[in-house]
Amino acid sequence: MMTAPAPEMTTETDPAMTPLLDLSDVTIALRQNDRKMVTGVSLSVMPREVFGIVGESGSGKTLFTRTVFGLHEDTYLAGGTVRFNGRALPLNGYRRAIKKMLGKEIGYIPQDPYSSLNPSMRVGRQLTEALYLSKGYPMRSQKAQDAAVALLAEVGIPEPELAFRQYPDQFSGGMRQRIVIAIALSQDPELMIADEPTTALDAFTQRRIMDLILERSRTRGLAVLLISHNLELLRQSVDRLGVLYGGQLLNVAATADIGAREIHPYTQALFDCVPGRDKRLADIASIPGEPVGAGFGTTGCAFAGRCAFAQDICRSAPLVTNTDRGTGFSACVLGKGARHG
Amino acid sequence: MAEQPVIELLELTKSFSSGAFVQNRSFALGPVSITVNSGEVVGILGESGSGKSTVANVIMRLTGFDEGSYHFRGADVRAFTKADSFAFKSKVQIIFQDPYGSLNPRATVGASIREALILHKRHLSRAQMDARVRELLAEVGLGSEDPGRYPHEFSGGQRQRIAIARALAVEPEVLVCDEPLSSLDVSIQAQVLELFKSLIEHRNLTMVFISHDLNVSRLLCDRVYVMHKGKVVEKGIAQEVLTNPQHDYTRQLLEAVY
């Protein structure tokens, strides 16, 4: 039925249209028993795009992120292709290959600012070490020190020269997270992974750190992959959103569509649960039942058991995957939220 | 109109002796004045470190206070006799944030709830107690086989329901909820929010709702107190304070939340 591609769909050679990160049918399994936890995830993050991944606890979002970026030892990439800047990474020795890119093309901001810095090393040295590893600046050189101080200033640390000589425990959680961001930026990455970067922080600090990440992304032309359980935070921060549930990618939606257009029933149900700023008590509708964990498999929709629209076909049809990786995608077999139908 | 408040804290202060490892932190509460009237849902809101949990602990009499006064239904809690204190425990109940830590892992759910009945509802026969346990669990949305199961067999949301059933077992006048939703996933949070809504409607509960979640508080509370650094910076009708705040701190906090 599809006719000629729409005019805005340009050829692969257009650098603006080559996805920075392109995942095709990615399946993640446990090393222990080869159980497939995350199945058939296809999505792409464009250059300069801020892309979010949302999921409840157990949905597989952390497993997914940590495996794709080589940070998880108990899981492996069991199938699919990961491309970075158009280059496919080998499935064999995937972890080694992606780890080489981590700290260079890919920066990573972990969740807990309290455990991600070395408590016995001065902040300055942690930065100059990162600069040595990514850019080869000699660690004690003036060049490395100047670059480190400039980075601390860039992430909004007051008195960066002083901070350079201090230890992590002399900083609050928010300030530590800024230092972690400075370290991630020191490598001039093209893609920044932020895995629940503000969950450990209070509301004010959360907002400031999110603002910092988004502002740095705009200024540096940096793509960001933001993982969170907080739908409202993502809705206000990212351009597009991938929704994971039971280890399945159920929806990729432009955040502007959430609450405005038909989206996948799970994303809609999740949005209806969130006590947002403009909602009344009557607007809040809970989802019956309990969330299913990652590893639901590829037969049927993981959300069918809780979905208000579910029919028999939802439980038996094979999982719909996002093969063409267009801007939007819905895995709903009933066609709900499918914009390209 | 001149009905006596259920809980009345007047110019109450509390200071902690700071240990050798604690620096630069204000550990004082107050002076705060907080009133909770019968049938009201009162929110105590603030960031971590604002003193809101200390208020909960003072109300529960889990911790003492320095200056000021605390009256429960007009009676000075400092003048409580042993019998008064025992009776107080069945009148005020608390639900904690962590449903994993607040239930005895080695007792079945039924035994945990029955324990409260044995202490405070001694006139009931064993069969009546069993029936009551099932009624309570049904009220919070759990099944009839559940009394025989152990806490680890339940999910976080279900455990929070069990904690609620247990708190309700003694038919308290006041239910203090210390961040009861914040460890739950959104879909489960909405379920428990609906449960609170129905409990408030059906039981005419007086509730003290301690929370950092301004959106949930706006939906659930009648009145709120906004705390900052141990003091109340703003108080009033929940809807008004949380949509049109007057104090700078509340305004900034509202702008910060997602």
Nearest-by-CA chain B residue for A55: B185
**Is it the case that residue B12 has pLDDT exceeding 50?**
yes
For A204, which of B189, B218, B256 is closest by C-beta distance?
Answer: B256
pLDDT at B18 exceeding the cut of 80: no
SS in 3 state form for A245-310?
ECCEEEEEEEHHHCCCCCCCHHHHHHHHHCCCCCCCHHHCCCCCCCCCCCCCCCECCCCHHHCCCC
**pLDDT over threshold 50, residue A8:** no
- Predicted-complex ipTM score: 0.83
Residues of B in contact with A204 (CB under 8 A): 47, 252-253, 256
Residue B17 confidence class, pLDDT cut points 50, 70, 90: low
Region A76-81: mean pLDDT is 93
Alpha carbon distance A216, A219 (integer Å): 5
Q: What is the pLDDT of residue A126?
A: 95
Cα separation, A295 vs A39, whole angstroms = 7
* Residues A246/A59, Cβ–Cβ less than 8 Å: yes
pLDDT at A7: 42
Tell me the nearest-neighbour CA distance from B87 into chain A, angstroms. 35
Indicate if the pLDDT at residue A327 is higher than 50. Answer: yes
**pLDDT band per the 50, 70, 90 thresholds, residue B136:** very high
- Note the pLDDT of residue B19: 57
- Average pLDDT estimate for A80-87: 93
Contact A281 B155 (CB under 8 A): no
Pick A107 or A13 by higher pLDDT.
Answer: A107
The minimum CA-CA distance between B161 and chain A, rounded to whole Å, is 13
Residue of chain A whose Cα is closest to the Cα of B252: A204
- pLDDT, tens digit, 9 for 90 and up, residues B68-100: 999 999 999 999 999 999 999 999 999 998 877
**CB contact, 8 Å: A229 with chain B?**
yes
Encode pLDDT of A140-197 as tens digits.
999 999 999 999 999 999 999 999 999 999 999 899 999 999 999 999 999 999 999 9
Q: pTM for the complete prediction? A: 0.86
Query: What confidence category does residue A5 fall into, taking pLDDT thresholds of 50, 70 and 90?
Result: very low
Extract long-range pairs of B31-35: CB within 8 Å, 24+ residues apart.
B31/B67, B31/B68, B31/B231, B32/B225, B32/B227, B32/B230, B32/B231, B32/B232, B33/B9, B33/B68, B33/B232, B34/B7, B34/B8, B34/B9, B34/B225, B34/B232, B35/B5, B35/B7, B35/B8, B35/B9
The partner residue sitting opposite B187, judged by closest CB among A56, A202, A230, is A56
- Lowest-confidence segment of A43-52, B10-19, B92-101, B102-111 by average pLDDT: B10-19
High-pLDDT (> 70) share of chain B, %: 95
Query: Which residues of A fall within a CB distance of 8 Å from B256?
Result: 203-204, 206-207
- Tell me: the pLDDT tens digits for A269-324? 999 999 888 888 888 899 998 889 899 999 999 999 999 999 999 999 999 988 87
Q: A232 to chain B: which residues are within 8 Å by CB?
A: 258
Chain A closest-CA separation from residue B39 CA (Å): 19
Put simply, the answer to whether A285 touches B215 (Cβ < 8 Å) is no
Q: What pLDDT is attached to residue B22? A: 53
Interface test with B, best of A258, A267, A286 (most B CBs within 10 A): A286
Q: What is the mean pLDDT of residues B33-62?
A: 92
